[in-house]
């Protein structure tokens, strides 16, 4: 929370994209104010008048709510030293996108621009495809768009690569992500921005619940309390056992130290008279006595 506030101090952050990017915007706004995760309701809500002290600037519930390609939603969070804005776009390059870029050119220029609009571009506007084909096209689109952005000297953060083994954090629709994943996205964006600016973060922010493999951030506190209680119980039992063992030891009389701790074999207990005719046993007995001395 404090590291995010310091890193984005006096910075203008712009997020462009679909509903996934709306959740990215919301998590950044939330992290700038407090250490908590987005709720399921906050992740699913769209076009509301206010979210965590931000305001709806355009579209959303101020206009007609729908799921079409012409849907608009502009949100903004402003504090004394932070400015974060979100534009809902359904195509990466359109007249609406050109008008947004013109506003940046003539007005306040952002320090960070986060863009992602792949799924709408290849699934809702051009052609109808199966889910399996969509996943393949997303991978191909990530490769070509990342290569093109890199050729122009832009920073590329491949979230598809980062989350290839985190599919358990997807929601039931298979497209959106839960609060744990979005907090990790925010942490990756902050670390990437810090590296681009040459800022060293002593303790980079991480999604704590991600470390615990917890799919629900609200359960993390209960999980910590459970393990702490279990650890306390373990040490109490260990201390009680130590006390009992110590009492038993103090009550046991000192044992008499014997010369030979290892019992002798039966053939070594024979007398010389018994060992007549067994010269090998006599020599072995002599060696045994030398070893035990």
List, for residues 236-284, the tens digit of each pLDDT value. 777 777 666 666 666 655 444 444 444 545 544 555 555 555 555 555 5
Judge whether 118 and 141 are in contact, CB under 8 Å: yes
List, for residues 50-64, the tens digit of each pLDDT value. 999 999 999 999 998
| Residue 143 forms part of a structural domain | yes
| Residue 270 forms part of a structural domain | no
| Residue 231 forms part of a structural domain | no
| Residue 80 forms part of a structural domain | yes
If one counts the domains in the chain, the total is 1
pTM, rounded to two decimals: 0.68
List, for residues 149-171, the tens digit of each pLDDT value. 889 888 888 888 888 888 899 89
| Residue 118 forms part of a structural domain | yes
Q: List the domain range (segments joined by +) for residue 100.
A: 2-215
List, for residues 184-243, the tens digit of each pLDDT value. 999 999 999 998 899 987 776 665 554 444 455 555 455 555 656 666 676 677 777 766
| Residue 228 forms part of a structural domain | no
How high is the pLDDT of residue 241?
Answer: 74
| Residue 255 forms part of a structural domain | no
Mean pLDDT throughout 115-120?
Answer: 77
Tell me the pLDDT of the chain averaged across its residues: 78
Q: What is the distance between the alpha carbons of residues 290 and 171, in angstroms, rounded to a whole number?
A: 77
List, for residues 31-44, the tens digit of each pLDDT value. 999 999 999 999 99
| Residue 144 forms part of a structural domain | yes
């Amino acid at each position: 929370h404090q590291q995010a506030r310091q890193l984005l101090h006096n910075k203008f952050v712009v997020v462009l994209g679909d509903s996934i990017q709306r959740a990215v915007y919301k998590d950044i706004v939330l992290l700038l104010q407090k250490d908590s995760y987005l709720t399921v309701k906050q992740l699913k809500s769209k076009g509301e008048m206010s979210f965590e002290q931000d305001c709806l600037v355009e579209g959303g519930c101020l206009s007609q709510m729908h799921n079409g390609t012409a849907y608009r939603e502009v949100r903004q969070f402003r504090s004394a030293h932070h400015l974060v804005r979100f534009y809902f776009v359904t195509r990466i390059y359109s007249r609406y996108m050109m008008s947004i870029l013109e506003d940046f050119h003539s007005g306040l220029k952002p320090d960070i621009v986060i863009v992602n609009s792949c799924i709408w571009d290849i699934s809702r506007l051009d052609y109808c495809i199966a889910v399996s084909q969509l996943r393949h096209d997303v991978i191909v689109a990530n490769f070509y768009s990342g290569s093109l952005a890199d050729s122009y000297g832009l920073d590329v953060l491949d979230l598809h690569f980062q989350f290839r083994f985190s599919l358990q954090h997807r929601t039931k629709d298979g497209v959106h992500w839960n609060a744990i994943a979005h907090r990790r996205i925010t942490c990756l964006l902050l670390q990437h921005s810090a590296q681009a600016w040459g800022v060293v973060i002593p303790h980079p922010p991480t999604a704590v619940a991600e470390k615990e493999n917890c799919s629900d951030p609200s359960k993390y506190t209960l999980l910590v309390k459970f393990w702490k209680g279990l650890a306390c119980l373990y040490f109490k039992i260990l201390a009680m056992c130590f006390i009992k063992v110590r009492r038993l030891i103090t009550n046991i009389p000192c044992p008499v130290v014997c010369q030979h701790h290892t019992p002798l074999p039966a053939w070594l207990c024979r007398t010389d008279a018994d060992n007549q005719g067994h010269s090998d046993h006599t020599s072995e007995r002599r060696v045994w006595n030398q070893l035990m001395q």
